[in-house]
Amino acid sequence: MTEAVTKTLSDGGDYEIKIESIQTIDGQQYTGNKEYLFRILPMKGDLDKNGTITIMDIRLLLQKFVNLDSSTVFGDEELYIIDMNDDGILSIIDIRLLVQLFINL
């Protein structure tokens, strides 16, 4: 028996999920116990991983930006969260995009 695990979308990572039946958006039905590996991406800009964008996320991003130097290396998941425009680097553009996202919420 597999233990049930509840995860929010802000918890990124790989999850093995066993599914008894699944229906695709075009109506096809698949049955039978199959195991799938799902990769859940963390929420963009949610630096404190609380599931929402708040002023704290902007503050944390500003701290990372201020402390940025040539030796700074971000992990894949961290870079995914902080790199708002997906250009592979942390820049002032990412801060602007996060502030815009926060204002428009």
Query: Is 95 an interacting residue with respect to Ca ion (CB under 5 A)?
Result: no
**Distance, C-alpha 34 to centroid of its chain:** 26
Question: How far apart are CB 63 and Ca ion at their closest, in Å?
Answer: 14
Query: Is 50 an interacting residue with respect to Ca ion (CB under 5 A)?
Result: yes
Question: How far apart are CB 66 and Ca ion at their closest, in Å?
Answer: 16
Phi, psi at 39, each rounded to 5°: -105, 115
Q: How far apart (Å, rounded) are the C-alpha atoms in residues 50 and 44?
A: 12
Query: Is 46 an interacting residue with respect to Ca ion (CB under 5 A)?
Result: yes
**Nearer to Ca ion (CB atom), residue 50 or residue 100:** 50
Phi, psi at 88, each rounded to 5°: 90, 0
